[in-house]
Structure 1
Amino acid sequence: MTDHDTIPNLRIVWDVGRLSEWASLLAECGQSSLTQSFGYHQAMLTVEGWRPRLGIIELSDKPIGLVVMSERRLLRVVRIARLHRGPLLRPEARKPSVFAMVMKLIRQDYPSGPLNWTAVVPEWTAGEEAVSMMRWAGFRRDKAPGYRTLWLDLRRPEADLRSGLAQKWRNALNQAERTGLTVEIDRDGKQQLTWLLEQYQKDKAEKRYRGPSAKLVIRMRTGMYKDGDILLLRANKDGVPVAGILVLGHGRAATYQIGWSDAVGRSARAHNLLLWQAMLELKRQGRDWFDLGGILPDTAPGVTAFKRGMGGVEVELAGAFR
């Protein structure tokens, strides 16, 4: 990138518009991230005190994307800001020149200095091009590794989704469908969220893995269920709950947020059945993309292998910058 690559008619308009307009633009971005949705930021404000600042990205006065910055004040003089998995651009605007210029505009609004601390994890694929663009925009690379996840394209027919499963994963799904499991679908979290969070908290404490707090999940449910963005599925064996998952929607995409299974559920391959049923339900809702929620090949190889078996496209983001 060079200084000649600036786009003079590109701008970020902050703190404008109605939430309905924001939701429409989020849907138009297609392959969106949960952390750029307003419901997520409502929860973060309530639970952790991060105040969202919403920006609409415009090219020649037409909206082409969005960005949400999270802000906090330290001693009322230091502004701490972060951007996680943004900005989001409409498909036709996802060009390196546009992305680089948007990041440059963000840098101008959030300069680096003693009174301004900014950390960003941009929603752009890792590689030398990404590092070059971020450096041109005024950011420097942090040591944190790039976020990695798997995306499922739900626009494919059901038969193609099933044939795209790894053989081992599909065999486990076939087994689950023969074991007499029944699946309950809760579309607002009223019936099953309390139960799932109890199991999830116990499991997280025993196995000591990282994950969102129960309080944050509850707040997200409160802010998102009216928009139809809550999907909770529970598997029962002989009338007893043995596994459950929570999926959160955002625009035309959704993210696998948390899951739990006991020994009976694992033996019956309940998670395979739940995630397969979630894929079909998301298709019925009109979702196009399913973010499987991140993978850690080195520290969580079993979970990573399980998610890879679902046939998604693996993506590594550019990493953290300051």
Structure 2
Amino acid sequence: MTRRFGDTELPEDIERMLRRAMRLEWLSIAFLVTAVTTVYLVMGSSQAMQAAWAEDLLSFIPPIAFLVAVRVTRIRPSRRHPYGHHRSVGIGHLASALALLTMGAFLVWDSTTGLLSQDHPPVGLVVVLGHEIWAGWLMVAAMIYTGIPPVLLGRAKMPLARALHDRVLYADADMNKADWMTALGSIVGVLGIGAGVWWADSAAALFISASILRDGVRNLRVASGALMDERAQTYDGQDPHPLQHRIEAVVCEHLWVDRAAVRVRDQGHVFHVEVFVVPARGAEVGVPALAAVREAVTRLDWKVQDVVVTAVEELLDALVEKEHGSAQEHDPSR
């Protein structure tokens, strides 16, 4: 079955990547069920373990948001939703970011309070198969189990997030890749309790909480910018998307174009593109010429879903800021 994002039929290689990303997210959910259960059973009163457990619970949100968003984005545009349902990706990203931010802030406060009040969490002995062992060793074993698979999953998801231009998948992969720090912090905290360093557990919990809060702040910034129609950025939200300059270059290859600038709106997986062209002096611009530009832009990349080409007398100031390199001029030597 050919998969689509709205009206966008995916190329075969992208379709394969989407199927793989969905399988990885289902695998992540299955793993998280075992991880959350394991950590809950052994965490005791350790603040570091409780923070790690909370982070594992939050880790359910990105894969679920991704799977829901992929399903919703397949719905074709309608009169009520003429732009399609691609914004579901941004909504999922925003929901993930808010959950991380809220829980991170709470855990930072809770960990700081525990550190200031000088809590001494007890870690006693448990009986396993008839033998008494220190409960801390079970905690360490649990964190080793929960720390390694997410890193591998994150590495597998990252190139798929880039290819699919999916920020929810990227946020999930980024969190997965950093899970080893959570596991290591929890292990240090637990071993610190065993060594009699009372503050190690709270300090480790504070480190994990700060990591969750940082993820929340970063993802909230990127998600909010996309929903507020910020200029299209790369999947990680770090740089302007290079497709914008490629579109401008293709438009300026048409002989009747004097100057051109584009406005690219990131809808989630796909882009909506507005092309503004200033015709060369004396050029006659008709529907066939505009249609040819539109066709050339559409062929550039599968992510270009909707293109509007408009002939104008002057380009808007917001589109020609030199620092952004957002406008290109016709090369007379062509």
TM class by smaller structure: under 0.3
- Structure with bigger helix share is 2
Which is greater in Rg?
Answer: 2
Q: Could you tell me the TM-score, scaled by structure 2's length?
A: 0.24
- Structure with bigger strand share is 1
